[in-house]
Amino acid sequence: MDQYFVLVVDDEKEIRDAIEIYLKNEGITVLKAKDGIEAIEILNEHQVHLIILDIMMPRLDGISATYKIREKKNIPIIILSAKSEDTDKILGLQVGADDYVTKPFNPMELVARVKSQLRRYVTFGTFEGVKKVINLNGLTLDQEAKEVTVHGEPVKLTPIEYKIVELLMTNAGRVFSINEIYERVWNEPCYNAENTVAVHIRKIREKIEIDAKNPRYLKVVWGIGYKMEK
């Protein structure tokens, strides 16, 4: 795996943002939700490799969210809570959490636990999220070989072009804003990235589309961004 996606779920924006800063420093992409319901919605739409989940939240708390997530997914879950009582820790682990961190927490300890869980998830064969070969109506992405073909014909993409195609194909049907594409592919904050992304999108279309002006695969959603057609 070249890139990990971690979902941080906490009703306190300051905590979500603080965790994001530390994880981004490790090259990890962070998705954020303010409660369990929003977290489950994100999980249904995005590839996620690990969840950091607060216990005390409105609408759907961390324990209930963990229980629901475990009905369908085997993603590592680290429970995060201000409560330090053994009963909460035991309950969280019983419903399916993999680890437990008590607030206030040492950010570097949390990062170490995240990296440990990610290694275990991928290395020991429980990782289920990545498809090594993705095919969308003749457009094929081989993540192991880092190759893209159109009806069997290889397409020569630059590393940045490949990352854009990989992002869109592994999330086919989902619309990405220009800023989001830039931040995920270039892995840095977005500043006036519209022209940069647009140029790469145009070059990709010229390589994968029969008619770049009437694209079959890489579609623009006006006013929002780009998506790869399912």
| Enclosing H/E stretch for 5 | strand 5-9
**Separation of alpha carbons 27 and 45, rounded Å:** 21
Same domain, 41 and 87: yes
Q: Is the pLDDT of residue 176 over 70?
A: yes
Report if residue 128 sits inside a domain: no
Do the Cβ atoms of 96 and 69 come closer than 8 Å?
yes
Q: Is the pLDDT of residue 135 over 70?
A: yes
Same domain, 202 and 112: no
- The two tokens of residue 200 are 């790469």
**Separation of alpha carbons 1 and 9, rounded Å:** 23
Same domain, 147 and 111: no
Same domain, 161 and 91: no
SS3 93: helix
> Average pLDDT for residues 133-161, to the nearest whole number?
88
Q: What is the CA radius of gyration of the chain?
A: 19
* Structural domain ending residue among the three candidates 98, 123, 148: 123
Q: Is the pLDDT of residue 226 over 70?
A: yes
* Structural domain ending residue among the three candidates 86, 101, 123: 123
Most confident of 32-41, 92-101, 126-135, 178-187: 32-41
- pLDDT band (50, 70, 90) for residue 102: confident
Report if residue 208 sits inside a domain: yes
Q: Is the pLDDT of residue 126 over 60?
A: no
**CATH assignment at residue 176:** 1.10.10.10
- The two tokens of residue 69 are 């997530």
- The two tokens of residue 126 are 């429980």
Report if residue 158 sits inside a domain: yes
Same domain, 72 and 152: no
> Average pLDDT for residues 172-196, to the nearest whole number?
84
Same domain, 112 and 25: yes
Residue 70 belongs to domain spanning: 5-123
Percent of the chain whose predicted confidence (pLDDT) is above 90:
43
pLDDT of residue 61: 87
Number of domains in the chain: 2
Same domain, 117 and 144: no
Same domain, 168 and 214: yes
